[in-house]
Amino acid sequence: MNMLIPRIIPVLLVSKKGLVKTVQFKESKYVGDPINAVRIFNEQEADELAVLDIDATVEGREPDYRMIENLASECRMPLCYGGGIKTIAQAIKILGLGVEKVAFGSAAVDSPELMKGLSGQVGRQSVVVVIDAKKKFWGGGYDCYTHNGRKNRGISPFDLAKVAEDHGAGEVVVNSIDKDGMMTGYDLELIHNVRSQVNIPVTALGGAGSLDDLGRLISREQIIGAAAGSLFVFKGKYRAVLINYPSREDKRRLVAGIA
């Protein structure tokens, strides 16, 4: 696994068809048009892009296939989509629109056999599980949440990562709710402990505020994916909205673990 080259991945949150950013899964702030962001990341040659519809599961609706098709047709890099996927048929439809990977959140807890069935048809490289983890108030450890951090699922991220691997997922994304939007650095303990549980690629999300944060993550964990939201949509201490991505030279330094 460590022979794979780390990917630096912008994560776009979509709500009501707009691009938003949250802080600890709250305080949703509109930051622009998703299609425009995709075009900018195309120009900046992003390694990969993840788009998460944060309304679909909460509202109990199907994925917005028209939106996904529009994003996929514009996107010139590998695209991962998550949000509202509950059946194999939905996932296959999304992959047929030009998306390379589909991400499961609540379905990975409720119906893990869904991932096994899908990976058997399309290969596990197209199956991703997003693990939204939050530190417990008492006693230490972490719990997994779904529905935008509103529903505690009573399972640890370490156990869920193992369930994901055992049921055909080819990658897990570990997202710290506590760190979301804070821009104070990743929860390296959480990432390290999840990574120690599985033999599939792990992508880290939540907390990146600088290229140094990405560099520390990559060099310390030999992580496969360094993902971020705020870092790639805001600039400066006042968080002016500016879609951005590391230059080629910065990316080379990050991947070399010398940022």
Is 132 among the catalytic positions? Answer: yes
| Three-class secondary structure of residue 64 per DSSP | coil
Q: What is the DSSP string of 84-143?
A: S--SHHHHHHHHHTT-SEEEESHHHHH-HHHHHHHHHHH-GGGEEEEEEEEE-SSSS-EE
Question: Distance (Å, rounded) from C-alpha 78 to C-alpha 103?
Answer: 13
Among residues 47, 55, 64, 132, the one annotated as catalytic is: 132
**Closest alpha carbon to 133 in 107, 159, 114, 113:** 159
**Integer Rg of the chain from CA:** 17
Residues counted in the chain: 259
Retrieve residue 57's tokens.
């599961």
Burial call 196-220: b when 16+ CB within 10 Å, e when fewer: ebbebbbbbbbbbbebebbbbbbbe
d(CA 109, CA 157): 11
Distance CA 254, CA 20 (A): 26
Catalytic residue annotation: 132
